């Protein structure tokens, strides 16, 4: 069934059988019929003139143009559509051009419009002409931006029902104007694979971090022969944590994931604490699960860049059970051989003590030879304050060379945003909950990937400034000391 739907999606992305080359409206074979509307029902391919004429009363539709074997985004503004207001919807003998960058905010996105106002002596002011047309201007003086009545009503209902902020709504509209559309199977190339969904491998649809060290992708030749003092550059940092906000209630609906283990979520898969003082440890040994099918989730991300790993999130049924975390953490290492591994986890002092005894309980494909893998263990800096001093010192990021300013708390930032969806996913069936969170996490990883260049550049500039300060402070501090003791 999934393959049939993928074929239908590809059909809609293509020319949909319109191969004659003539315009569907005027049937002229001497013009290029390369335009189609995304909103018009069953819209065929039109020439430029017919497309513009067809949309005189539909100026906020989204247009695509066929170019180099695929459809690309264009606009009615670029095709030359002129929107005239006033004069009873009849051609006006006196027209006044509006702002050159006139923008209309509509349900399907933001639109640049070439607009003319009626400038007859009896014509109302420009902002009144906009209101008469159902467009609400931002200002009454030389309006350049307006929102349709439909979008204002739509936002009002959403804000009342879901408490959506205006900023979030505006960001969604911007993406609706020219979004990438994370249709995971199609985006992952499954639609062009002869094996279809049957050949889908675990985690294949997940968006991975392009900046973390991977010997097969981004490490220089002979990196393993680099000096010992530079080996820290090739350490793979991984942050792990549990989240008890993302619960899921018991219900009678039998539902499965649309794509089990294709992206981030695991399929379905007790020890007592010797360290006190941290609330997460108490939760780890209790089952506060009355009426709940899932008490929370555990997850694993790359510490430095915040990308959730493929197969990096899974359900918890009895608090922060270490057997669940074993499965999640070692699933993220499946098929990946990092040079060295730096694990941060707020329960690391308890978690790692019996990892060798627990390894045989995992599926064989998840086994890791810990004798061949260099592993460093850390407590996130804020969480370390709640541990005993022997724990916080032994697993301190502050006392370890080669970790820079890593704090290990990045996964908490991710939870803060994902938890907004907790109220809605809590009442879903388990399959729908997994699919929804997979989609949210894929979207987060995608935008992290888009902004990674800017983010890394900003961090580099900050580090260069701080490095110069630290060098100067070090020289000042050690200037009067015997070099042999420094």
Q: How confident is the model at residue 181 (pLDDT cuts 50, 70, 90)?
A: very low
What average pLDDT does the structure give for the chain? 83
Residue 300 sits in the same domain as residue 378: yes
Do 373 and 464 sit in the same domain of this protein? Answer: yes
One domain for residues 320 and 359:
yes
Kind and range of the H or E run holding 105: strand 103-106
Q: How many distinct structural domains can be found in the chain?
A: 3
- In residues, how long is the chain? 486
Contacts of 58 (CB under 8 A, 6+ apart): 37, 39, 40
Half-sphere exposure of residue 423, counting CA atoms within 13 Å on the CB side? 4
pLDDT at residue 364 tops 90: no
Residue 475, in any domain of the structure: no
Does any domain span residue 249?
yes
Return the higher-pLDDT residue of 309 and 285: 309
Q: Is residue 183 part of a domain?
A: no
Give the residue among 359, 368, 289 at the shortest CA–CA distance from 322. Answer: 359
Task: Look at residue 182 and tell me if it is in a domain.
Answer: no
CA distance 302 to 189: 25
Residue 458 pLDDT level (bands cut at 50, 70, 90): very high
Cα separation of 379 and 387, whole Å? 9
pLDDT at 183: 54
Chain segment 377-413, per-residue pLDDT in tens: 999 999 888 888 888 899 999 988 888 888 999 899 8
Instruction: Answer whether 54's CB lies under 8 Å from 62's CB.
Output: no
Shared domain check, 444 and 377: yes
Average pLDDT of span 111-133:
90
> Where a domain ends, among 79, 96, 128?
79
* Res 454: pLDDT: 93
CB atoms within 10 A of CB 484: 5
pLDDT of residue 465: 93
Give the pLDDT of residue 188: 61
**Per-residue pLDDT, 61:** 93
In a domain, 288, yes or no: yes
DSSP-based three-state secondary structure for 236: strand
Q: Are residues 259 and 141 in the same domain?
A: no
Distance CA(113)–CA(222), nearest Å, equals 56
pLDDT band per the 50, 70, 90 thresholds, residue 149 = very high
Give the pLDDT confidence score for residue 197 in this predicted structure.
Answer: 62
Alpha-carbon distance of 60 to 150, in angstroms, equals 12
Q: How confident is the model at residue 473 (pLDDT cuts 50, 70, 90)?
A: very high
Provide the 10 A C-beta neighbour count for residue 381.
17
Instruction: Give me the percent of the chain exceeding a pLDDT of 70.
Output: 86
Token code pair at residue 148 = 């349709």
Q: How sure is the predictor about 186, in pLDDT bands with cuts at 50, 70 and 90?
A: low
pLDDT at 172: 80
Residue whose C-alpha is closest to residue 273's, from 241, 314, 319: 319
Q: Cβ distance 378 to 396 under 8 Å? A: yes
Least confident of 204-208, 234-238, 294-298, 386-390: 204-208
**Structure confidence at residue 134 as a pLDDT band (50, 70, 90):** very high
107 shares its domain with 52: no
Quote the pLDDT of residue 366. 85
The reply to whether 477 falls in a domain is no
Q: Please tell me whether residues 203 and 54 are part of one structural domain.
A: no
Q: Is 256 in the same domain as 287?
A: yes
Element (H, E) at 315: strand 308-316
Same structural domain, 57 and 95: no
Write down the pLDDT at residue 114: 93
Q: Within 10 A of 7 (CB to CB), how many other CB atoms are there? A: 12
Residues whose CB falls within 8 Å of the CB of residue 40, separated by 6 or more in sequence, listed in order: 54, 58, 61
Task: Determine, yes or no, domain membership for 18.
Answer: yes
Cβ 338 vs Cβ 237: under 8 Å:
no
Given a cut of 60, whether residue 287 has pLDDT beyond it is no
Report residue 271's pLDDT band, with 50, 70 and 90 as the boundaries: very low
pLDDT confidence bin for 365, thresholds 50/70/90: confident
Report the pLDDT averaged over residues 326-336.
83
Q: 123 CB contacts (<8 Å, ≥6 apart)?
A: 86, 87, 92, 94, 117, 129
Percentage of the chain exceeding pLDDT 90: 24
Confidence grade of residue 31 (pLDDT, cut at 50, 70, 90): confident
Q: What's the distance, CA 450 to chain centroid?
A: 10
Q: Convert the pLDDT of each residue in 200-233 to its tens digit.
A: 677 778 888 999 888 888 888 888 888 888 888 8
- Say what the pLDDT of residue 378 is: 93
The answer to whether 148 and 104 are in contact (CB under 8 A) is yes
What pLDDT is stored for residue 44 in this prediction? 82
344's CB contacts (< 8 A; 6+ apart) are 237, 238, 239, 240, 303, 377, 378, 379, 380, 397, 406, 408
In sequence order, which residues have a C-beta less than 8 Å from that of residue 448 and are 6 or more positions away?
209, 305, 306, 307, 455
Domain boundary among 64, 79, 94: 79
Which of 33-47, 169-183, 270-284 is the most confident on average?
33-47
Q: Is the same domain home to 66 and 93?
A: no
What is the DSSP secondary-structure string of 128-180?
HHHHHTTEEES-SSS--EEEEHHHHHHHHHHHHHH---HHHHHHHHHHHHS--
> Which of 28, 62, 79 is the last residue in one of the domains?
79
Instruction: Give the other-Cβ count within 10 Å of 91's Cβ.
Output: 8
Whole-number pLDDT of residue 269: 44
pLDDT band with cut points at 50, 70 and 90 for residue 51: very high
CA pair distance 429, 254, nearest whole angstrom? 7
* 273: pLDDT strictly greater than 50: no
- Judge if 276 and 157 occupy the same domain: no
More confident residue, 280 or 135: 135
Domain that residue 257 falls in: 190-469
- Answer whether residue 9 is part of any domain: yes
| Res 315 pLDDT > 70 | yes
Is the model's pLDDT at 182 over the cut of 50?
no
| Residues ≥6 apart with Cβ < 8 Å to 142 | 99, 126
- Whether residue 341 sits in one domain with residue 243: yes
């Amino acid at each position: 069934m999934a393959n049939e739907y993928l074929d239908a999606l590809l059909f809609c992305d293509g020319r949909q059988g319109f191969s004659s080359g003539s315009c569907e409206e005027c049937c002229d074979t001497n013009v290029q019929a390369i335009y189609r509307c995304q909103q018009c029902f069953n819209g065929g391919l039109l020439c430029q003139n017919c497309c513009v004429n067809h949309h005189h009363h539909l100026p906020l539709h989204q247009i695509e143009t066929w170019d180099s074997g695929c459809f690309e985004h264009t606009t009615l503004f670029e095709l030359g559509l002129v929107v005239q207001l006033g004069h009873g919807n009849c051609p006006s003998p006196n027209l006044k051009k509006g702002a050159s960058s006139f923008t209309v905010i509509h349900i399907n996105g933001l639109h640049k419009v070439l607009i003319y106002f009626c400038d007859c002596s009896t014509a109302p002011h420009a902002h009144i002409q906009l209101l008469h047309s159902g467009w609400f201007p931002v200002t009454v003086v030389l309006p350049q931006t307006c929102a349709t009545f439909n979008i204002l009503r739509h936002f009002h209902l959403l804000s009342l029902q879901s408490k959506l902020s205006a900023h979030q709504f505006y960001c969604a509209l911007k993406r609706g104007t020219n979004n990438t559309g994370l249709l995971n199977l199609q985006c992952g190339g499954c639609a062009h694979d002869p094996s279809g969904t049957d050949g889908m491998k675990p985690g294949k649809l997940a968006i991975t971090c392009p900046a973390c060290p991977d010997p097969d992708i981004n490490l220089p030749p002979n990196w393993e022969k680099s000096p010992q003092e530079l080996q820290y550059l090739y350490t793979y940092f991984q942050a792990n944590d549990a989240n008890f906000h993302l619960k899921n209630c018991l219900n009678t609906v039998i539902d499965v994931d649309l794509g089990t283990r294709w992206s981030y979520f695991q399929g379905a898969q007790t020890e007592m604490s010797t360290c006190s003082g941290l609330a997460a440890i108490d939760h780890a040994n209790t089952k506060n699960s009355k009426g709940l099918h899932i008490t929370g989730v555990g997850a694993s991300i790359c510490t430095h860049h915040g990308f959730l790993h493929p197969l990096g999130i899974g359900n918890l049924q009895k608090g922060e059970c270490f057997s669940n975390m074993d499965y999640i953490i070692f699933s993220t290492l499946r098929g990946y051989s990092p040079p060295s591994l730096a694990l941060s986890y707020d329960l690391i002092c308890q978690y790692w003590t019996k990892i060798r005894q627990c390894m045989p309980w995992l599926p064989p494909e998840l086994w890791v030879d810990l004798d061949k893998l260099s592993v460093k263990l850390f407590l996130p800096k804020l969480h370390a304050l709640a541990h005993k001093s022997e724990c916080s010192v032994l697993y301190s990021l502050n006392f370890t060379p080669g970790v820079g300013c890593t704090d290990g708390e990045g996964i908490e930032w991710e939870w803060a945003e994902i938890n907004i969806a907790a109220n809605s996913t809590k009442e879903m069936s388990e399959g729908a909950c997994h699919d929804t969170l997979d989609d949210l996490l894929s979207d987060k990883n995608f935008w992290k990937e888009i902004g990674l260049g800017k983010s890394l550049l900003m961090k580099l500039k900050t580090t260069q400034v701080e490095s110069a300060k630290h060098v100067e402070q070090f020289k000042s501090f050690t200037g009067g000391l015997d070099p042999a003791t420094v």
